[in-house]
Amino acid sequence: MKRILVWVLVVVFLDSCTSDIFSVYKSSPSEFIQTPYTLVIPDSFPVPLAPPVVLTEEGIALGKKLFYETLLSKDNTISCGSCHAQEYGFTDNGKDLSGGVGGLKGLKNSMPIMNLVYYQSFFWNGRAIDLPHQALMPVNDPLEMQETWSNVVEKLNAHTDYPTLFKKAYGDVPIDSTLVTNAIAQFELTFISANSEFDKMRKNIIPFTPSITNGLSIFNTEPRKTLFDAPGGDCFHCHSVPLFTSLIFENNGLDVNPKDGLMNVTGKASDRGKFKVPSLRNVEKTGPYMHDGRFQTLEEVVDFYNDGINISNTISPIMVKIDSNGDSSGIANGLFLTNQEKSDLIAFLKALTDEEFLTDPIYSNPN
């Protein structure tokens, strides 16, 4: 049975509606009907906090069109969907660094878009406080869409469909960046991925294979302290089931001299090199990997965790492995996985692919 959460259902907005959460609708002069949308949270997922925006069918439909709208970019060539392609788990088409208008190369690897209702901040360094604020930024980013919001609003007002669609979603209020980003956020919140091969195995819909069973066990086991211990990848502390992210920021040991990351937002030296722990759902499709796209394949990622960790003063203590004598130096900083164990771990990661999510037309380009 599905657990159904309904946060706020508002069917009719009136002139007199003054509550803060509805401030974007306040100036609506006429009564209009909206169809409330119920976000269905899978049974296996935790109960999220209330989403940052009210969800309606009309708002989501508008957000879907806007997410795939190239008018949001300077030369009308790039949409959010250009760098967040569904078949790649909503990342940028296998590129290491995401590119913007005019083929400019960006600074970061595009991030997957799914199960976003759980996050309290966005981007690799967490600089956006919520989804509507996040959606404001790509439009005037000089390496991304390179457009001004006043131009976007002008283009949408001149379009044959948008004025009517905005009226349906928000009533008689002028189109502005608040409404555009509100609608896009509504659409993005509907991206729920919870039906991977692994989920089907957990529900006994399909059987576990021996390799995936072993990979899951490695994923969820502490690292070996001696060569006689069961194999452990110790992935679960940060990429915890069922979301496959702990939702926080960590330094996972990529660099000897880590740079940037959460420190750029908090100003704290102790946050240097800490990046958002990405969800591993659909990870088979979201490569290249890490904030800078440095690893092309999951094999490279697993080799890195197995014996390529760089110790620095902000590294997560979880990454620093100890041996049976309590020693955390030298060779102890490895997982000592055999080739077979590494390939079982990768088989498990690939079982996190959710084909339905990657192909469902409810998320596809309607334009």
Residues forming contacts to ligand HEC in the complex (CB under 6 A) are: 72, 78, 80, 82-84, 98-100, 106, 108, 110-111, 113, 119, 122-124, 134-135, 138-139, 144-145, 184, 188, 233-235, 237-239, 250, 252, 254, 275-278, 280, 283, 286, 289-291, 301-302, 305, 316, 318-319
On the question of a cis peptide bond just before residue 163, with omega within 30 degrees of 0, the verdict is no
* Total residues found in the chain within this entry: 367
What is the number of other CB atoms lying within 10 angstroms of the CB of residue 124?
21
Q: Which is nearer to ligand HEC, 13 or 236 (CB)?
A: 236
Q: Which is nearer to ligand HEC, 13 or 112 (CB)?
A: 112
Q: Which of 278, 236, 231 is nearest to 254 (CA)?
A: 278
Q: How far is the CB of 173 from ligand HEC (least distance, A)?
A: 20
Q: Which is nearer to ligand HEC, 179 or 277 (CB)?
A: 277
Rounded Cα–Cα distance for residues 29 and 151 (Å): 26
Rounded Cα–Cα distance for residues 108 and 97 (Å): 5
Q: Which is nearer to ligand HEC, 41 or 301 (CB)?
A: 301
Q: Which is nearer to ligand HEC, 212 or 319 (CB)?
A: 319
The answer to whether 307 and 292 have CB atoms below 8 angstroms apart is no
Q: How far is the CB of 280 from ligand HEC (least distance, A)?
A: 6
What is the number of other CB atoms lying within 10 angstroms of the CB of residue 96?
18
Q: Which is nearer to ligand HEC, 25 or 122 (CB)?
A: 122
Rounded Cα–Cα distance for residues 355 and 347 (Å): 16
Q: How far is the CB of 357 from ligand HEC (least distance, A)?
A: 15
Q: Could you identify the residue written with the tokens 């080739």?
A: 339
Gyration radius (Cα) of the chain, Å: 22
Using alpha carbons only, give the angle 189, 361, 51 rounded to the nearest 5 degrees.
10
Q: How far is the CB of 267 from ligand HEC (least distance, A)?
A: 17
Q: Which of 50, 362, 3 is nearest to 190 (CA)?
A: 362
Q: Which is nearer to ligand HEC, 26 or 310 (CB)?
A: 310
| Sign of the dihedral through C-alpha 142, 143, 149, 155 | positive
Residue 58 to residues 48, 242, 314, Cα–Cα distance (Å): 23, 30, 45
